[in-house]
Amino acid sequence: MKTHRLLPALLLLASPALAADEDATAICSEAEERYVELFGQPSSAVEDAEVVLMYKYNFCPAELTVKAGTTVRWVNVDKRTSHSVLLKDGSQPESDRLFPEETVDLTFLTPGPQNYLCGPHWETQNMIGMVTVEP
């Protein structure tokens, strides 16, 4: 039964990535619950911006696609930790440290991928994200 002996090895190979995805999904649904607690409505109800939540060293969603001209609003829904937003292309200065419940807006005009990170946590917690801007 060679297939049976292969299976555990395949599961081992697959599980770290799957576990990370599941963690991010769980963290992001918790983040959305926090948002509703704090602001009394779902983040999707915001009409003048696309919302990215900052929570437990994650950006939620970590990858976002928007049309050029869209404003993205990062909202810190953590209880204690402060975060920042820094575009890797250096076209904007790093945002102020956002304390819980604080926000920062950036409007994306130029099409293309924009990688960004959290200044204090990208290195130690891999707190990074990407906005893809479509024409």
Which residues lie near Cu ion (CB under 5 A)? 83, 118, 121, 127
Give the pairing of strands 112-117 and 86-87. antiparallel
Closer residue to Cu ion, CB minimum distance, 13 or 85? 85
Q: Smallest distance, Å, CB 98 to Cu ion? A: 9
Q: Smallest distance, Å, CB 127 to Cu ion? A: 5
Residue with tokens 């893809």: 132
How far is 27 from 41, CA to CA, in rounded Å? 18
Q: Smallest distance, Å, CB 73 to Cu ion? A: 16
Residue with tokens 């953590």: 78
Closer residue to Cu ion, CB minimum distance, 43 or 81? 81
Tokens of 125: 């917690």
How far is 24 from 2, CA to CA, in rounded Å? 34
